[in-house]
Structure 1
């Protein structure tokens, strides 16, 4: 359906941004965005990014003055015409619109220095700071913008610095800065500072500390380059959760762009800093993409890029569940399908055509870019059936990964693995020893139920070695072709080790170590197909990821079939005008369900090695499910949905039933009772009837 990339014509130059060629990283650096050269960007191509359209609600006098003095014009509307065919050397997000090709010039020695060009391009409402960088007069602008509109998507941006040079007495004076001191692994004392919060937001000291330490890798591996990952932390009642958009969820989601590069001017030789987007939404696909674009731009230009990103997101329409939204950001128009709660996002059910799907601009909000399930589990695919069982039964799981990216994307994939079963427990995509919940999660007694932790610090491997289920994921070295996969559907474990010359304690064998024996049989046909596709490299990773996720979504649907059928027998079907109140749903009786299950088994193949028959294995697995929190959560949501449907049917009978025929022979008390019931149901069910504020009912 969507086959071409659309770019904002006024800011198309920014769609070519990356950090390659700036002299900041060596040839081994990992870059997350398309390469660009600031020398090729003229000063005329950037002012509109910070101009009147971005600051449309700012003081009109300031804007008028800026237009007059700099000739800045508003950002034109999005060009809906088909994008011109890019040249062979220009693809994806680096394609420039035809209206701005003239603004891109070739580099020459006499041209204005690139950083000076960027500074001069920023409008006058951004004053210069002590380093000759223009900074926004924040409150004059922010107060006039729709903060409520932005806060429907996110909370704020944070810039977090890891500084090994700061000593006693060198605490920041900026009121938006928060500093914490830690002892690093073999590096001495270091300070972790929230340098900037934009727009200004108040966090409790505990929240600020957690944001700081969750924004940096906590293992002692040092890879130069950029990485993107995410975390989930508890929002305390005294902070953002009490007044902000996280009141219902109780958690904040952080999306991090972390940069580490060699810097001889720093005592330890490394520059380490993170740009963090904090949100109340678990939109890992969307927000991870945004920070991967924003991060490199911020490290070159500075805070004005945060302000530009703020104005971009502040112009978006409010998020609508299970809808396709076109979201402009930093010069590119992204087409994003927002996830429906507790439902898998698959290409087959999305508005995108599989044949023309472009993962760079077509985004499924709950799915990591380019997929996370196949990306991180492709060397241990047969273990996914056991992982599905553990997640379905809400078992405590510790996932040890080689990096925060591996951990966070793997945890997100595990939670998504059992949709449409809602996961009842707490999950932390990237968990550190500084988290306030560390003591409650990490003790020598039995682990808490319904918890999934993603960790990289080797300390956890020893502290939580008594946990019943441990998943280890890492990139193995010296991989060998796995002939066993093609023969019997099994996959041998591979050994992961750090890169040569890199200090690390994360040496382990990939796989799942569990006290539970798997009950669900593997799909050998799927295993063979994936092995062949991987060996031949015949399909892109995101398609193989979609195939895997679709298989387990189908498996979950099959598992729920007996539960849904039995639950349907509990919902009353007879409703009439004579009903004195809304009918109630009968209680769910486990023994009755198990008898129903024996006559109505699911279309799932169970392992029979530890059981006498497939039926016995089936009964055992469902008994375990009925005891876990996922069942209680599923039953609660299923009951709420059924009650809403009953109420809707009851209202239809009250409003469309043969009231004239029913009142014949009825006494006055019965008539009054019917009228009262109609008033009460109409008043309490306005949301079901979609009654707007202007709708009135007559008495």
Structure 2
């Protein structure tokens, strides 16, 4: 993976590895527990990283379990925290990073629907060394989301996979009550990976405690719970989250090979006491029927002591195919909104992408719907209608629209490159020629910023055209334009 296009000096090449690595890791923090002071941030590396007091406090509190269960001996887990507003820009960095990162590890960019003043929530360093400071309590890092043992995470809830997949697809608020920070964080990461390759565009906290700065925001009963997946261990949350629509309570993890007792779907009214049994507490009714053949296959695999890696591969493939069956019709319809390539003209602005019509899409499902690739029966139309109201649809649509817009920009630059612009300018006024030069320069700078995929030589040819036209203009005007263009380029 190249750091950036056009970097070639020895100094830049020497810096490239660290620059690439810094996109994944912002800093390393060491937190110790002082018997008198409590948690204390002992070391931050590199030393020039500036953390706000709020961030330092959050890191300290989140680095140690807030309950006694499941934390004997060495333990490792991950968490995420909200970056303080104004500490760092990074809009362009996020765009570059997101282009190459797997869907489940992309940085969430706030949409226009986000609350004013909100800040983007970034991944934690323990989740594969991602950008936001966190604590590495042991020399070994957590595996990435793609290396998680999905089967071990979902063993107790195999019969409810369809419920969980739909909850995650629709971005529903979900609390995971786990016996330890390790189980909490791994389960949350496994949950958000269920809808891969679709990007999970809601907030998620692998390990959430009462000391988190968003504790009041997430536990208030005066408004509906936000679209977030929370992993918790403190029994205090059993009472606190009684108003949440979906709660997954897990027990102690079974050893590999054991046939786990599958948790049941229960009413939320039963989530009251501290000795609440494991289960899924929700009134949610799935739109699709569950895949009984898959469940029987996985349960039989447990009885036959099939390796967990094989079970995970079976589970991952099922979830991937299910999500793809859901997304392919959306992708196909979105592609139909793209203007034809022949409509892109060098003498006009690029054509616009046609608007997304939900009703037109739903009508197209009779011929191109998920029934062509999935054996699952149920209310697919109802699932799509609910999905349209979720942050995951909003994130998917914005990303696809941005990619298509950039494709149109690339096509427009390529047809401009092939057009005889020099001849076009011969009978044009100086005002029209200058306007063309400024617009071309703006498009070239935008193409470089966005690193548009272009045919070889396109940018160079248009640069040469600009230089040719500038030299044909009156000397004073040409000098002003050259200065202006140089200033814009830098």
TM range, smaller chain: 0.7 to 0.9
Show the counterpart of 1:585.
Answer: 353
- The reply to whether residue 192 of structure 1 matches residue 34 of structure 2 is no
Q: Distance in 1 between matches of 2:226 and 2:92?
A: 29
Within 1, Cα distance between the matches of 2:232 and 2:220? 16
How far did residue 367 of structure 1 move?
2.6
2 CA distance for matches of 1:494 and 1:637?
37
Counterpart among 482, 493, 497 of residue 263 in structure 2: 493
Report the CA distance between 1:246 and its aligned residue.
8.3
What does residue 277 of structure 2 align with?
509
1:273 is matched with: none
8 Å contact from structure 1 (residues 424, 629) kept in 2: yes
The match for 2:322 is: 555
Structure 1 residue 385 displacement after superposition? 1.3
| Contact 2:128-2:143 at 8 Å conserved across structures | no
Q: Hey, what's the Cα distance between the residues in 2 that align with 1:667 and 1:241? A: 46
SS in 1 for 2:383: helix
What pairs up with 1:139-154 in 2 under 5 angstroms?
151-154=22-25
**Counterpart of 1:533?**
301
1:545 to 282, 305, 312: 312
Inter-CA distance 279–605: structure 2 relative to 1 (3 Å threshold): closer
Shift of 1:521: 2.2
- Residue number among 244, 247, 263 corresponding to 1:470 in the alignment: 247
Shift of 1:412: 0.8
Structure 2 Cα separation of the partners of residues 245 and 212 of structure 1: 27
Q: Can you give the 5+ residue segments of structure 1 that lack an aligned partner in the other structure?
A: 1-143, 167-178, 180-190, 257-275, 296-362, 486-490, 496-504, 608-613
- Does structure 2 retain, via aligned residues, the 8 Å contact 1:446–1:467? no
Give 1:416 deviation, angstroms.
1.2
- After superposition, the Cα gap between the structure-2 partners of 1:559 and 1:150, relative to the gap in structure 1 and judged at 3 Å, is closer
Distance across 1 between alignment mates of 2:251 and 2:94:
33
- Asked if structure 2 preserves the Cα contact closer than 8 Å seen for 1:396 and 1:447, the reply is no
Q: 1:692 to 1:441 in 2, by over 3 A?
A: farther
Equivalence for 2:362: 594
Q: Is the 8 A contact 2:218 2:226 kept in 1?
A: no
Aligned residue number for residue 398 of structure 2: 636
- Aligned mates of 2:71, 2:220 — CA distance in 1: 31
TM-score, length-scaled by structure 2: 0.72
Does the Cα contact within 8 Å between 1:424 and 1:450 map onto a contact in 2? no
* Counterparts in 2 of 1:535 and 1:245: CA distance versus 1, 3 Å: same
Relative to structure 1, the CA distance from residue 657 to residue 241 in structure 2 (aligned partners, 3 Å threshold; closer, same or farther) is closer
Retained in 1: the 8 A contact 2:346–2:415? no
Relative to structure 1, the CA distance from residue 578 to residue 476 in structure 2 (aligned partners, 3 Å threshold; closer, same or farther) is closer
Matches within 5 A, 1:425-464: 425-464=202-241
Q: Partners in 1 of 2:74 and 2:92 — Cα distance?
A: 31
Question: Does residue 1:293 correspond to 2:139, yes or no?
Answer: yes
Q: 1:96-115, aligned counterparts within 5 Å?
A: none
Q: Could you list the per-position Cα deviations for residues 604-656 of structure 1 after superposition, in whole angstroms to 9, with x for gaps in the alignment?
A: 4555xxxxxx4xx1221111111112111111001011111122222232223
TM superposition shift of 1:676? 7.1
Aligned equivalents of 1:479 and 1:520: distance in 2?
30
2:30 to 159, 182, 185: 159
Q: Structure 1 residues 542 and 508 mapped into 2: Cα distance closer, same or farther (>3 Å)?
A: farther
Q: Which deviates the most, 395-404 or 669-678?
A: 669-678
TM-score, scaled relative to structure 1: 0.52
Shift of the 550–658 alpha-carbon distance from structure 1 to 2, 3 Å rule, reads farther
Aligned to 1:423: 200
The answer on whether the counterparts of 2:162 and 2:286 sit within 8 Å (CA) in structure 1 is yes
Q: For residue 217 of structure 1, what is the aligned residue in structure 2? A: 65
Partner secondary structure for residue 302 of structure 2: helix
Distance 2:420 2:458 in 1: 26
Separation in 2, partners of 1:597, 1:406: 39
Distance of 1:251 and 1:580 partners within structure 2: 40
Give distance in 1, aligned partners of 2:367 and 2:290: 24
Q: What residue number does 1:366 align with? A: 145
Query: Aligned in 2, Cα 1:535/1:658: closer, same or farther, shift over 3 Å?
Result: farther
Greater helix content: 2
**Cα distance in structure 1, aligned partners of 2:27 and 2:183:** 25
Residues of 2 paired with 1:596 and 1:246: CA distance? Answer: 35
RMSD between aligned residues: 4.1
Per-residue deviation, 1:543: 3.2
Whole-angstrom CA distance in 2 between matches of 1:682 and 1:675: 10
User: Relative to structure 1, is the Cα distance of residues 478 and 251 closer, same or farther in structure 2, using a 3 angstrom cutoff?
Assistant: closer
Partner of 2:102: none
Q: Secondary structure of 2:323's partner? A: helix
Q: Distance in 1 between matches of 2:236 and 2:137?
A: 29
Deviation of 1:436 after TM superposition, in Å, equals 0.9
Q: 1:401: Cα distance to partner?
A: 0.5
C-alpha change, 1:424 and 1:252, in structure 2 (3 Å) is: closer
Structure-2 change in CA distance of 1:469 and 1:579 (3 Å): farther
Q: Which has the higher contact order (CA 8 A, sep 6+)?
A: 2
C-alpha separation in 2, matches of 1:511 and 1:251: 29
TM-superposed CA distance for 1:460, in Å, is: 0.9
> SS where residue 386 of structure 2 aligns?
helix
What CA deviation, in whole Å up to 9, does each residue of 1:652-696 have, x standing for no partner? 322236889x97xx9747995877765554443232238899995
* 2:286 partner SS: coil
Distance 2:23 2:31 in 1: 23
> 1:207/1:244 Cα in 2 relative to 1: closer, same or farther (>3 Å)?
farther
Larger Rg: 1
Equivalent position of 1:280 in the other structure: 131
